[in-house]
Amino acid sequence: MYCVQCKMPVCYQCLEEGKHSSHEVKALGAMWKLHKSQLSQALNGLSDRAKEAKEFLVQLRNMVQQIQENSVEFEACLVAQCDALIDALNRRKAQLLSRVNKEHEHKLKVVRDQISHCTVKLRQTTGLMEYCLEVIKENDPSGFLQISDALIRRVHLTEDQWGKGTLTPRMTTDFDLNLDSAPLLQSIHQLDFVQMKASSPVPAPPILQLEECCTHNNSATLSWKQPPLSTVQVEGYILELDDGNGGQFREVYVGKETMCTVDGLHFNSTYSARVKAFNKTGVSPYSKTLVLQTSEVAWFSFDPGSAHSDILFSNDNLTVTCNSYDDRVVLGKTGFSKGLHYWELSIDRYDNHPDPAFGVARVDVLKDVMLGKDDKAWAMYVDNNRSWFMHNNSHTNRTEGGITKGATVGVLLDLTRRTLTFSINEDQQGPVAFENMEGLFFPAVSLNRNVQVTLHTGLPVPEFYTPRGAMQ
C-alpha cells in the first residue's frame, strides 16, 4: 500500500500496528501508475521548456550576429553623419576666411592709398620749404617783396591742408569681426542621440489565419494576427505577394490593418503570400508563406459603373439592353492580362436586323459609338446574315453567317498566344480575328434598343479551339 500523508510505500504490518494506521492509504499499483503519469506529464512540460530554451539559445546566437552587423552599420552611419557636420563646418570656415581675406585686402588698399597720397603731399611740402628757404636768402628787398605775399599764402594753404585730418589714419589695424561660436559650441556639446532604440525586441512573426484567407476570381483576401502571447507593440504590417510565377516578392500593403484584399491578380495562377510586422525597433521575421490559387476560369458580370448611361441592366447585371437607337458600349467587371479566357453571350432579343458588336476593349474605350470604332476596342459586329471584324474603324474579314434570337456568340481571348477568336453557335466565325493582343482587356459589347443579350461566364474552352486552329 501507499501512505498518502507520508508519501511512501508501507507494508500491511506497519499499516495495522504502526504510525500509518490512521493515515490515508491507497493501492500501491494505482499510485505507481498515477505518479508515472504525473512524472511523464512533468517531463513533457520540461521537454517543451527545453525545446523553447534551445530555440531561445538559437535566437540569442542570432542576436549576437545581428548586434555585430547592426553595430557596424550604426557606426558607419554615425561616422557619415559626423563627417557631414565636419564638412559643413569646413565649408563655413572657408566662407568666413574668405570674408576675413576680403577685409584684409580692403584695409591694405586704404592704407597704401593713404601712404601714396601722403608721400606725394610731403614731397610737395618739402619742395615748397626748400624754395622758401632759398628765397629768404635773397638780399634784394625789391625782388623779395615781389613774391613774398604769394609764398606766404601758399605756405599757409599748405599748412591748412595738412591739418584737415591728413595725418589721421583712414583705417584701423584691428579687425572689427567677432566670431560668435558660442551657439555652435553649445549645439556640439548637446549633440546626442535623440532617442535610444527601445530595449524591447522586434515584433514576433505574424500568424496567417488560414480559415479567413481565401480567393475569389482574381482577388485574394488575407488575414493575420500577432501571436497570442506576444506583448511587443506593433506599429504596422507589410504584406508581400510574388508575381504568380514564383518570382520575387513585392509589397502590396503597408499599414495597421490585419486584413487586406488584393485585386487584379491573374486567373489560374498560384501566388505565394507572406507578412511581417514592424515597430520602432525593427522588422519581424516573415510569417509562414501561404500559397493561394486563383480561379481557373473567370466569373464576372457587366459593370454598371463604367457603362454608358443608356445601358439597362437586369438579372444581377448579367443581362443588358439599351434605351437608345444608337449603339452604346458596356464592359465586363473583370479585366484580363494573362491566360486563356472564354465567355458567351446569348441573344435574348433581336429586332429589325441591328448589328451588335462583341469583343474586348480598354477601360477608356468610347462608350457612345459601336465597339471597334476607335483604337481602344477589338470587336466582331454581326447582323442576321454576315459578320465583320473591326478595330480602329477598319473593317476586315467579312464572313457569311449571322445571328437571330436564341443564337450564341462566343469570345475567346488567348493572351498566351495573344489572339482573339469569335464563334457563333459554338462554331468558329472566320479566321483568328486579331493577333498581337497585349495588355489589359475587358469583355465588351455594343448594342442598341433592338438587342438584348445575357452574359455566360466560367465556361471551358470550346472544342473548335486547338493550338493549330489558333494559328490559322
pLDDT, mean over the chain: 88
pLDDT class of 24 with cuts at 50, 70, 90:
low
Chain position carrying cell 553623419: 81
pLDDT above 90: residue 141 = no
199 part of a folded domain = no
**Statement to judge: residues 356 and 422 lie in one domain:** yes
Query: In terms of domains, do 316 and 269 share one?
Result: no
Residues 429 and 455 in one domain: yes
* pLDDT recorded at residue 31: 66
- Of residues 159 and 367, which shows the higher confidence score? 367
Same domain, 263 and 322: no
Beta strands in 88-235 (DSSP E): 207-208, 214-216, 219-225
- Comparing 228 with 436, the larger pLDDT belongs to 436
Domain membership of residue 273 (yes or no) is yes
In this structure, are 262 and 411 located in the same domain? no
Question: Model confidence at 208, in pLDDT bands (50, 70, 90)?
Answer: very high
pLDDT-based confidence at residue 23 (cuts at 50, 70, 90): low
User: What angle, rounded to 10 degrees, do the helices at 141-162 and 28-136 form?
Assistant: 170
Q: What is the CATH number of the domain that holds 438?
A: 2.60.120.920
Both 336 and 430 in one domain: the answer is: yes
| Amino acid 307: pLDDT | 94
Is the distance from CB of 345 to CB of 409 less than 8 angstroms?
Answer: yes
Residue 181 lies in a domain: no
Tens of pLDDT, residue by residue over 379-412, are 999 999 999 999 999 999 999 999 999 999 999 9
Residue 7, sorted as left (phi over 0), alpha (psi -120 to 50) or beta, turns out to be left
pLDDT band at 300 (very low <50, low <70, confident <90, very high): very high
Residue 362 pLDDT > 90: yes
SS3 164: coil
Does residue 366 register a pLDDT over 90?
A: yes
- At residue 448, does pLDDT exceed 70? yes
| pTM score above 0.85 | no
pLDDT of the residue at 4: 64
pLDDT digits (tens, 9 = 90+) for 76-114: 999 999 999 999 999 999 999 999 999 999 999 999 998
Q: Each residue of 158-201: pLDDT tens digit? A: 888 887 677 888 888 888 888 888 888 888 888 887 655 545 68
Q: What's the pLDDT score for residue 471?
A: 40
- pLDDT tens-digit series, residues 42-85: 888 788 778 888 888 888 888 888 889 888 988 999 999 999 99
Instruction: Decide if pLDDT at 145 tops 90.
Output: no
pLDDT digits (tens, 9 = 90+) for 341-360: 999 999 999 999 999 999 99
Q: In the prediction, which pLDDT does 25 show?
A: 62
Weakest-pLDDT range from 112-126, 179-193, 202-216, 257-271: 179-193
Do 237 and 339 belong together in one domain? no
In this structure, are 430 and 341 located in the same domain?
Answer: yes
Q: Which residues constitute the domain of residue 327?
A: 311-470
What integer is the mean pLDDT of 234-251?
Answer: 90
If asked whether residues 449 and 340 sit together in one domain, one would say: yes
Residue 357 resides in a domain: yes
pLDDT higher than threshold 80 for residue 22 = no
Task: Give the number of domains in the chain.
Answer: 3
Say if 421 falls within a structural domain: yes
Same domain, 218 and 331: no
Q: Residue 244 is part of a domain; what is its CATH number? A: 2.60.40.10
pLDDT for 19 equals 64
In a domain, 118, yes or no: yes
Query: Which cell numbers in the block locate residue 404?
Result: 437571330
Q: Residues 354, 427: one domain?
A: yes
The yes-or-no verdict on residue 378 having pLDDT over 60 is yes
Asked whether residue 305 is assigned to any structural domain, the reply reads no
* 400 located within any domain: yes
What pLDDT does residue 94 have?
A: 94
Averaged pLDDT for residues 280-295: 90
Considering the domain architecture, whether residues 162 and 217 belong to the same structural domain is answered as no
Q: In what order do the strands lie in the sheet with 290-293?
A: 250-255, 236-241, 270-278, 290-293
Report the 10 Å Cβ neighbour count for 449.
18
